Amino acid sequence: MQAAVKLLVRLGAMSVTVTGPVGNQSANCMPILRALPHWFGIPSALDAYSRDIDALPTFVARRDSQACGFLTVKRHFPQSAEVLVMGVLPELHRRGVCRALMGAAERWLRGEGVIYLQVKTRGPSQPDEGYAQTRAFYVALGFTPLEEIPTLWNGANPALIMVKKLASD
């Protein structure tokens, strides 16, 4: 496995460091999810995310040493992985933090031999401005909507699978 990297990324007037992949990050990352209740408001789901963030490879963006964004990935097969959970503090949205996190994660995954990266998010059949913005982020970063599965989670929360090809097979 490749070593973790630490990068200094300049985003306009702001700088962040992006570190990863690292484990045991729930103490740093859970405050970010709690600041995003529209997406992460279900207590049992938060508990599961906390366990995943500790157990799985995570990329963390820090501003002035404080975690301000993160992204956790799960490897399903040697050629495929998933962005399991990600978030950026609301006051820093649209500053390029998650683009920097995704870039670092994709470089690492490519080096590990991953070809396809998927994400699951709420699909367009249940209109919601917040999730429309989430999907716009994924599309801007090169993900393509693949399939909406209404029954994967629950009727109020149709799951959209999006996929990005990271390397030629």
Ligand X SMILES: CC(C)(COP(=O)(O)OP(=O)(O)OC[C@H]1O[C@@H](n2cnc3c(N)ncnc32)[C@H](O)[C@@H]1OP(=O)(O)O)[C@@H](O)C(=O)NCCC(=O)NCCS
- In the complex, the residues that contact ligand X under the rule CB under 6 A are 36, 39, 86-88, 93-99, 121, 133-134, 136-137, 140
Contact 110, 104 (CB under 8 A): no
Please state, in angstroms and rounded to a whole number, the distance separating the CA atoms of residues 149 and 146: 10
**Taking the complex as a whole, how short is the minimal distance between the CB of residue 82 and ligand X, in angstroms?**
11
> CA 29 to CA 16: how far, in whole Å?
15
If the CB atoms of residues 91 and 169 are measured against ligand X, the closer one turns out to be 91
Instruction: Give me the least distance between CB of 2 and ligand X, in Å please.
Output: 23
| CA-to-CA separations, 87 to 1, 116, 134, in angstroms, rounded | 25, 21, 10
Torsion angle defined by CA atoms of residues 61, 35, 43 and 100, in that order, rounded to the nearest 10 degrees: -20
CB closer to ligand X out of 1 and 156: 156
Q: Select 1 or 71, whichever has its Cβ closest to ligand X.
A: 71
Nearer to ligand X, 18 or 166 (CB): 18
